Structure 1
Amino acid sequence: MGSDLVLTVLKGVPTTLLLTGVSLGIGIVGGLPFVVARVSDRRLLRVLSRSMIEVLRGIPPLVWLFIIYFGLGNSLPGIEPLQAAIIGMGLISCAYMAEIYRGGLAAVHHGQWEAGRALGMGSVAIVRKIIAPQVFRISVPATANYGIGLFKDSSVAFTLGVTEVLYWANERSRTTGDAIKPFLVAAVVYIVLSAVCAGLSRSLDKRLQRRVAR
């Protein structure tokens, strides 16, 4: 495999990382109101949140991207492929992160709430000082796993013309007629970057284990 082939495929790494990072960031923030509604005492909020989460998770990412870019794009002219991909992947991330947060909340023993109240703490203080740090700690491995999956799923954005890793591999394959080497290079790039992300998440998890009580 020539160095020019590798360099061509690597041109898509910044865009892939940008798409993955921004989409995951949207999910980390946007998942919070979803999970608050999901565990609310009000049945209507729970039903609405659960329904939205199921819809966002149930439709394949590629379909969402087509709906946003080719569907809404007709009503909102000027939307760029990368913008459409970030919106689509970000919305999906919100749903997945809400479920990750919900799992983290469920893993925190209810006695933590009672202990906080026994100390005279209000609900906001209990969440901020006791519950949230533990949920964050518990959610790190699942978030990392989802982030790695999102990184790989971002490859579907090439169908919109987003110049990420698979886009450049496909361009190289199209211009040279080689249907194997460019995609093998792309596969290696995905494997290496996924391994790096997994290693970083394990390191963060070990640090949090020492600092945050279960």
Structure 2
Amino acid sequence: MFDVFKAMLDGVPWTIAVTLLSFTIGCLLGFPICWLRMSPFRVISFATASLVLIIRSIPPIVWLFFVFFGAGGGLLNLSPIAAAVTGLGIITAAQMSEVYRGALSAVPVGQYEAAHVLNLNARQRFVDIILPQMLRIVVPSAATYAISLLKDSAVASTIGVTDISAVAYQVTQQTFKGIEVYTTAALLYLLLSVPVALFSRWLGATLNTRISK
């Protein structure tokens, strides 16, 4: 069992890399998508909402195949890891844009009005007043999605990324110990997910404490 666990560790760095890179890209791209989604111009808002709906409706594995075999095979020369990060990053951007939009909508209108009355500029209103309250709402949802993304990253194995799932398949083919191997894989995913959940709880509690002061 120890030999199986040791072999499975080879896939952990790739699983973490795909998850972190995809999540980071998605969080950054989610902001402009959110602003477009909340645009006062109906054409822009409708077009963005439709795009987000399409992206969220297509399974991750289909996106990865499209990016790797479609765009990557014809227009771009993408490696498996680049295609996986691109595909999952697109999905994450759509998901996070909705998280941001929900958080912004949840901030009481009085907060916006108070910031305006204090004659704060746009940057001060957002950074000092809106953003802290927004983050308190965003963190739990973002952490939940990050854990889901960690599990979804397993589809990267279908295009050649040697993550935990790919290594599990290889070890199973070599040892024929399917139960032991996939039990170990499940344990590794659990060990990676729990710290994310604990960190999000700590961060959420910290933000709540600071904002309430």
Taking the aligned partners of 1:48 and 1:16, their CA distance within structure 2 comes to 33
Would you identify which runs of 4 or more consecutive aligned residues in structure 1 move more than 4 Å? none
Residues 56-75 of structure 1: CA deviation (Å, up to 9, x unaligned)? 11000000000111111221
**Aligned ranges for residues 1-214 of structure 1 at < 5 Å?**
1=1, 3-76=2-75, 78-213=77-212
Taking the aligned partners of 1:77 and 1:105, their CA distance within structure 2 comes to 36
Q: Check conservation: 1:134, 1:213, Cα contact below 8 A.
A: no
TM-score w.r.t. the length of structure 2 is 0.96
User: What displacement does 1:178 show?
Assistant: 2.2
TM-score w.r.t. the length of structure 1 is 0.96
Partner amino acid, structure 2, of 1:15? W
* Bigger Cα displacement from structure 2, 121-130 vs 37-46: 121-130
User: What displacement does 1:213 show?
Assistant: 4.2
Structure 1 unaligned residues grouped into runs of 5+: none
User: What displacement does 1:179 show?
Assistant: 2.1
Q: How many residues align?
A: 213
* Fraction of identical pairs, as percent: 39
Could you say what the CA RMSD is over the residues aligned between the two structures, in angstroms? 1.3
User: What displacement does 1:197 show?
Assistant: 1.0
Partner amino acid, structure 1, of 2:121? G
Taking the aligned partners of 1:18 and 1:172, their CA distance within structure 2 comes to 21
User: What displacement does 1:175 show?
Assistant: 1.2
Residues 82-122 of structure 1: CA deviation (Å, up to 9, x unaligned)? 10000000000000000000111111000001101111123
Taking the aligned partners of 1:96 and 1:191, their CA distance within structure 2 comes to 23
Q: Check conservation: 2:30, 2:93, Cα contact below 8 A.
A: yes
Structure 2 unaligned residues grouped into runs of 5+: none
